[in-house]
Each structure stands twice: as structure tokens, then as C-alpha cells.
Amino acid sequence: MTEIIMRKRVVEMKREAALQDRLDKLGVSDPVCGICGETDVRTFELHHPAGQKQDRAFTSQICANDHRKMTFEQSFVRSMHPEADAFLYAAGRLLIGIADMLREMIEYLYDYGIRLIERSLPVLKEGAA
């Protein structure tokens, strides 16, 4: 029985260390997805709104689900032409990436507002008109 307890303690210590490592990599102690409000640190990833090739330094911490959505949207942005101004291209990618994030936030906020209004309505009892 003692061996099982020791194994559980080791697993729990590894789990805590892994969670702390994720927090350290994110650079925050209490992450909140800026799009949907998710707070489970296990789901967080670093997102590069301009794309990793254009700007590796500018990142945002968002949940994996929203990160997949943002990465999907980024796949439709035109590739940089070999003779293009790299700075202007990166700035344009950044603005589009931020706009994609704002679009998701607006959709989430709109849906949340509708749900709040629905919850505010009185519950009618059966037989009441």
C-alpha cells in the first residue's frame, strides 16, 4: 500500500512541475483566454497573430481551441512576394491576425449577451398566461 501512495505522490509532483512549467512558458500566473475566457492552463498555447515567420516576439496566450481557429484563418493570408517590403507585409499580417481575434471575441460576446438576456426572462409557471 505504501508503494502505491509513493507512486501517486511522484505522479502528483510531476503534474505540478509540468503545470508550473506551462505557466513559466506562458509568462503568466493566472492565464485567461482573451477570446473565450478559458482558464485551464493545460489548454493554453502561444499564438503569433502576425505568424511565426513574420514576428516571433509578439505573442498572445489563448486556449488551444481558439488557437486552432486563428491558425486556420491565417492559412488564407497571401504569402509574401519575394520582392515585397518585409516590414509592411509583417505589419499587414499582424493587423489581420488581430482582426481575426477581435472577430472571434465579438461573436463570443454577442452570443453571451443573448444568453444573458434569455436568462433574465421570468420563468412562467404552467397554466400562467
Confidence at residue 51, expressed as pLDDT on a 0 to 100 scale: 85
Angle at which helices 64-74 and 86-120 cross, to 10°: 130
Distance CA 20, CA 35 (A): 23
Mean per-residue pLDDT pooled into runs of 10, the chain (129 residues): 85 92 86 91 90 81 93 91 93 93 93 93 70
Confidence at residue 2, expressed as pLDDT on a 0 to 100 scale: 86
